[in-house]
Chain A
Amino acid sequence: MAKVTVDGIEVEVPNGATVLQACEAAGKEIPRFCYHERLSVAGNCRMCLVEVEKAPKPVASCAYPVADGMVVKTDSPVVRNARRGVMEFLLINHPLDCPICDQGGECDLQDQSVSYGMDKSRYREAKRSVKDKNIGPLIKTIMTRCIQCTRCVRFSAEVAGTAELGGTNRGENMEIGTYVEKALTSELSGNLIDICPVGALTSRPYAFVSRPWELRKTDGIDVQDATGTNIRIDTRGPEVLRILPRINEDVNEEWMADRGRFSFDGLKRKRLDRPWLRVDGKLKPVSWPEALGAVAAKLKATAPDRIGAVAGDLVDAESAFALKALMAGLGSANLDCRQDGAAIDASRPDFYRFNTTIAGIEEADALLVIGANPRTEAPVINARIRKRWSLGKFPIGVVGPAGVDLTYGYDHVGEGPATLRSMLAGTHRFMAVLREAKKPMILLGRGALARPDGAAVLAASWAIARDCNALRDDWHGFNLLHLFGGQMAPLAMGFLPGAGGKDLGAMLSGGVDALWLLGADGIDPAAIAPETFVIYQGHHGDRAASRADVILPGAAYTEKDGTYLNTEGRAQISRTALHAPGEAREDWRIIRAAAQGLGVTVGFDDLAQLRAAMIAAAPALAEGFTRSFCMDMSGPAGDADALGDAPFASAITQYHLADAIARASDVMAECARTYGPVPALAAE
């Protein structure tokens, strides 16, 4: 530890800390542009100058290591003068077009020039201008505003792992860009907008839309992947205008994936905003009483064991629990939440959780990925894996399709279950690596379970984890990576076939006469038996709604208070940012109203009662999270010997179109066109 005096305040900081960190420890604010605590130190903006006693001139505090007994002044005339000089230089080529800049109101340069800048410019010469770059449909560039802090260059090289941005040319002519025109290929590219301290990189969909002070900010949870990214939903009136990440060190740090960030325009399109009823083969708009009356009439006339319910991938725990209570009241055990047919064993939570935890990835020292592509399935978790990999001594093995760029180096150990077999036999080279590791991790993709031999893959993966000593009372190295934010909660509450209940396959193939789909867009509507009466409750007129006999318009995740479990099993509550459009209602209310019509008692009248009942039934759904370790090594059901031979495939083939909200989004459609499979060139 080093003792440092900052403006007369004595603080102790670890050796190797920077002067800037010491100043922060003393509660002094140091202005900065290039410095970002999650990126490497560049030290090129010079805004963080401070005076250090005995140093001949002001030093850049972000890049200057502390020494014991150092005396730092952050507010002396020398420092003020130096910073004013730096600010003057930064503003020489800055266009000062704040009135038309989208960063206005939340711009570091704007804020800091108020504190440290001069009130007028002494610069009389021509300012340089830089041509804007086209780096894809998500990020708008106004490169003349760039102050060349290189945060974006470092972010794309270090965190995103797709080094596509750089500084080309030099001196007066230096420009930040990709040099050759191309769209950034990162799934984390939206974060460039957040880290850019000026208005050079701004959100293209948000261009000229709003000012930050006009927005109402609501804390939410991103459900479009299973990371459980903490988000802030910015609304004005009846519209979501943008979505930004919040800091949560245990989950997303301060990053966010592009699909969650940019697909909110899908919340305004293809929405179900009124109930519909199929009359004479055609869907007709009806009133709520008519729609619920039709539901009640049909369900009353159907034997309980001929009624089924399926929960979708984006549902909140409350509505799933409400539907489960309704089905219990009706006497049906036909429930399922695994639209992809994944062979999940829900008998113990650690069979289907990301047990290592996302932050725990940083403790691991070896990783085996089975049938997953974390880059497209959970980009933020992939960034965490990359972060761990960058520190070194982290061998990664991947069983899955070859030639996939995960943004880090890995050992492609095999394509299919044959590799798992040889690992279980102990003959595979990577098994030795895992056995040698102190904290090995197995990351199993949900896609690897959604196949005929899914149960065997699950059992084999668990057995590999056990064989390499990843299941201990101080470390849990077995992880299942889910795909969407609504997949965990139904599992945790047992939204699964009860005693004698039918599973999804049985329900679809005519096992039920009435099927209640709660936001279940993941199944092929053609697979539903033609005579089945389909009730679709959800927010988007996606695949399943067209097959429905009754459509009950529900609320999207931004429009309701809901509990979501991320892939770790962390229960987080998302708040209502705006109201559902038209006659759409919160989903639990719809189910409560249907229960009334059916004369079924579900045991709750408001959200508080519903939540209390839900938590009593499934304590894992209470907000919060405790990391747990493996106390029982016995594995999930499934016979590891029954492994098939088909190679693993990625569960998400088109990142930008993976869920109903994204499929309704113009921005995501544009991305899919940009990043989609490139048409093969003839005779290359």
Chain B
Amino acid sequence: MSVEQPTHFSFDAESEAQISKVLARYPEAKKASATIPLLYVVQRQMGRTTGSAWVPNVAMDEIAKRLGVAPIRVYEVATFYFMFNMKPIGKHHLQLCGTTPCMLRGSDDVMRACHDAAHVKVGQTSSDGLFTLTEVECLGACVNAPVLQVDDDYYEDLDYDRTVALIEALKRGERPKPGSTIGRQTSAPEGGPLTLLDVAGE
């Protein structure tokens, strides 16, 4: 891999607190189960400290040491799941769902909005280092399609204009409220409830 890898990684205090919480969930003999949670801990720490949430090789070696497994076992898990970024990414990770329901509901417009507003193509990082765009498979939010995941937050019911507005807000350093962008209540029907209208108290 042509990625420049750091030569050193150590967990900071915040990560250590998370690690002890995670490890407490598993029996000592089965602590290899904590591989995925620890990869998340690493990725978040990298995001916190370097502004790019990714998992360098040295960090995976560190996880292997913590969990008493061979490093290759951590590499296998980390490369299997696309949630872990094996190379540096931008400040915000835009993960756009392009699976059927989202596509039918206009994910192509959202994609176009990302190109236009964030100046980034799929698999690339914008030149200002703010955005990395990835097209992902179903995020499980089909009911409010199309959906764009920004880091850990879902933004739903997007169209071209609202996506542009979202990206502009991110550029300004704001963090709009996650969830439906048209004010839908969770995944209820658009415009409010349509059935069980006579249920008392609702």
- Which residues in A have some Cβ–Cβ distance to B below 8 Å? 157, 163-170, 178-180
- Contacting A at CB under 8 A, from B67-84, are 69-73, 75-76, 79-80
Contact B57 A166 (CB under 8 A): no
Contact B75 A180 (CB under 8 A): yes
Closest to B5 in A: A180
Contact B79 A180 (CB under 8 A): no
Contact B70 A163 (CB under 8 A): yes
Q: How far is the CA of A170 from the CA of B79 in the complex (A)?
A: 7
- Contacting A at CB under 8 A, from B29-60, are 57
Residues of A within 8 A of B57 (CB): 179-180
> How many contacts between A and B, using CB within 8 angstroms?
30
Contact A167 B76 (CB under 8 A): yes
Q: How far is the CA of A163 from the CA of B74 in the complex (A)?
A: 11
Q: How far is the CA of A169 from the CA of B75 in the complex (A)?
A: 9
Q: How far is the CA of A41 from the CA of B63 in the complex (A)?
A: 27
Contact B79 A165 (CB under 8 A): no
Residues of B within 8 A of A179 (CB): 57, 72, 75-76, 79
Residues of B within 8 A of A166 (CB): 72-73, 75-76
Interface size bracket, B side: 10 to 19
Contact A165 B80 (CB under 8 A): no
The answer, among B69, B70, B80, for a CB contact under 8 Å with A169, is B80
Residues of A within 8 A of B69 (CB): 163
Closest to A168 in B: B79
Residues of B within 8 A of A178 (CB): 72
Q: How far is the CA of A165 from the CA of B73 in the complex (A)?
A: 9
B3-37 near A? 1/0 per residue, CB < 8 Å: 00000000000000000000000000000000000
Contact A169 B79 (CB under 8 A): yes
Could you show 18 A-B contacts with beta carbons less than 8 Å apart?
A157-B70, A163-B69, A163-B70, A163-B72, A163-B73, A164-B70, A164-B72, A166-B72, A166-B73, A166-B76, A167-B76, A168-B75, A168-B80, A170-B79, A179-B75, A179-B76, A179-B79, A180-B75
Contact B70 A170 (CB under 8 A): no
| B35 CB, min distance to chain A CBs, angstroms | 13
Residues of A within 8 A of B70 (CB): 157, 163-164
Q: How far is the CA of A167 from the CA of B73 in the complex (A)?
A: 9
* Further pairs besides A164-B72, A179-B72: 14, Cβ < 8 Å: A157-B70, A163-B70, A163-B73, A165-B72, A166-B73, A166-B75, A168-B76, A169-B79, A170-B79, A170-B80, A179-B57, A179-B79, A180-B57, A180-B75
Residues of A within 8 A of B75 (CB): 166, 168, 179-180
| B64 CB, min distance to chain A CBs, angstroms | 10
Prevailing SS type, chain B contact patch: helix
Closest to A170 in B: B80
Q: How far is the CA of A335 from the CA of B159 in the complex (A)?
A: 94
Closest to A163 in B: B70
Closest to A178 in B: B72
Closest to A179 in B: B75
| B69 CB, min distance to chain A CBs, angstroms | 8
Q: How far is the CA of A167 from the CA of B71 in the complex (A)?
A: 12
Residues of A within 8 A of B80 (CB): 168-170
Q: How far is the CA of A302 from the CA of B70 in the complex (A)?
A: 63
Q: How far is the CA of A370 from the CA of B108 in the complex (A)?
A: 70
| B101 CB, min distance to chain A CBs, angstroms | 22
Q: How far is the CA of A164 from the CA of B80 in the complex (A)?
A: 17
Residues of B within 8 A of A157 (CB): 70
| B36 CB, min distance to chain A CBs, angstroms | 14
Residues of B within 8 A of A164 (CB): 70, 72
Residues of B within 8 A of A180 (CB): 57, 71, 75
Closest to A164 in B: B72
| A61 CB, min distance to chain B CBs, angstroms | 27
Q: How far is the CA of A180 from the CA of B70 in the complex (A)?
A: 13
List the 9 shortest-distance A-B pairs measured between CB atoms, nearest first: A163-B70, A166-B72, A179-B75, A168-B79, A166-B76, A169-B79, A170-B80, A168-B75, A168-B76
Residues of A within 8 A of B79 (CB): 168-170, 179
Q: How far is the CA of A165 from the CA of B75 in the complex (A)?
A: 10
Closest to B58 in A: A180
Q: How far is the CA of A168 from the CA of B75 in the complex (A)?
A: 7
| B20 CB, min distance to chain A CBs, angstroms | 25
Residues of B within 8 A of A169 (CB): 79-80
Closest to A180 in B: B57
Q: How far is the CA of A426 from the CA of B149 in the complex (A)?
A: 66
| B77 CB, min distance to chain A CBs, angstroms | 9
| A504 CB, min distance to chain B CBs, angstroms | 44
Q: How far is the CA of A163 from the CA of B71 in the complex (A)?
A: 8
Residues of B within 8 A of A165 (CB): 72
Q: Pick the most buried of A165, A168, A170: most chain B CB atoms within 10 A of its CB.
A: A168
| A188 CB, min distance to chain B CBs, angstroms | 16
| A180 CB, min distance to chain B CBs, angstroms | 6
Q: Pick the most buried of B69, B72, B76: most chain A CB atoms within 10 A of its CB.
A: B72
Residues of A within 8 A of B76 (CB): 166-168, 179
Residues of A within 8 A of B72 (CB): 163-166, 178-179
Closest to B7 in A: A684
| A170 CB, min distance to chain B CBs, angstroms | 5
| B4 CB, min distance to chain A CBs, angstroms | 14
Q: How far is the CA of A235 from the CA of B75 in the complex (A)?
A: 41
B147-182 near A? 1/0 per residue, CB < 8 Å: 000000000000000000000000000000000000
Residues of B within 8 A of A167 (CB): 76
Closest to B72 in A: A166
| A244 CB, min distance to chain B CBs, angstroms | 27
- Contacting A at CB under 8 A, from B103-157, are none
Q: How far is the CA of A170 from the CA of B80 in the complex (A)?
A: 5
Q: How far is the CA of A157 from the CA of B79 in the complex (A)?
A: 19
| A134 CB, min distance to chain B CBs, angstroms | 14
| A174 CB, min distance to chain B CBs, angstroms | 9
Q: How far is the CA of A167 from the CA of B72 in the complex (A)?
A: 9
Q: How far is the CA of A164 from the CA of B75 in the complex (A)?
A: 10
| A152 CB, min distance to chain B CBs, angstroms | 12
Q: How far is the CA of A126 from the CA of B73 in the complex (A)?
A: 31
| A155 CB, min distance to chain B CBs, angstroms | 13
Q: How far is the CA of A556 from the CA of B76 in the complex (A)?
A: 45
Residues of A within 8 A of B73 (CB): 163, 166
| A136 CB, min distance to chain B CBs, angstroms | 15
| B57 CB, min distance to chain A CBs, angstroms | 6
Q: How far is the CA of A531 from the CA of B72 in the complex (A)?
A: 58
| B67 CB, min distance to chain A CBs, angstroms | 13
| A183 CB, min distance to chain B CBs, angstroms | 14
